[in-house]
Amino acid sequence: MQFESDDPAFAGTMRIVTTLEPVEGGTRVTVSCQDVPSGIGEDDHLKGIAS
């Protein structure tokens, strides 16, 4: 995901990795993010991922 901003703290490329793993009764979905721009706070990041 590419973030475009004039402020370097909010710009850059974030990599999102989604892993699907079979488990009894369904599938476990794991989402991990790498290189999140430094200006994106953890709470805002978690809300964005949850949406």
For the chain, give every domain's residue range.
2-50
CA dist., res. 33 & res. 49, Å (int): 9
**Per residue in 11-28, pLDDT tens?**
999 999 999 999 999 999
**Amino acid identity, position 6:** D
pTM: 0.66
Task: Compute the chain's Rg from CA coordinates.
Answer: 14
pLDDT computed for residue 48 by the predictor: 86
In the 8-state DSSP scheme, what is residue 25? T
Q: What does the pLDDT read at residue 39? A: 93
Which single residue is written with the structure tokens 């004039």?
Answer: 6
